[in-house]
Amino acid sequence: MPTPFAALKPAMPCRPLSDAATYTLCVVDQAGKPLLGATVTASRTVWSEGFGDVAFHEEDLGTQLTDAQGRASFDLAPIESGFMSSNHEHTRTATATINGWPAQEVGKNGVIKLRPPRTARRN
């Protein structure tokens, strides 16, 4: 039985992406190698204005496990505005952890770099 063509293609490296419909992050170790199975939790802040008032609210985007390329991707629902109000995305953020390592936040480049916990040394 022939091997499917898709199985012959190497996996694409993770590339961060942040557009109106998708938020894709990459999780790597200290050496820059992708981490499989890291837990990534993402959210975005939406600001609303109308009737002379401005309000911010946090919107949970969910939790994903990274794939073999260190990729976690979140689908984004459109932000809708009302008749007398306007809603806009303000920021996106994400944190990741793996195997009890300290959680780290995403950088401006869309990459989360994880490292094992530091151990205290006695003199």
Which domains are delineated in the chain?
Answer: 22-113 (2.60.40)
| Sheet of 53-65, strands arranged across | 53-65, 39-50, 86-97, 104-105
- pTM of the predicted model, to two decimals? 0.77
Cα-based torsion angle of the residue sequence 102, 113, 92, 110 in order, rounded to the nearest 10 degrees: -170
Instruction: Spell out the residues 6+ positions from residue 101 whose beta carbon is closer than 8 angstroms to its own.
Output: 114, 115, 116, 117
Per-residue pLDDT of the chain (123 residues; tens, 9 = 90+): 444 444 444 556 788 988 888 999 999 999 999 999 999 999 988 877 777 777 777 889 999 999 999 999 999 888 776 666 677 778 888 999 999 899 999 988 999 999 988 776 766
What is the amino acid identity at position 31? A
Instruction: Spell out the residues 6+ positions from residue 20 whose beta carbon is closer than 8 angstroms to its own.
Output: 76, 78
pLDDT at 12: 66
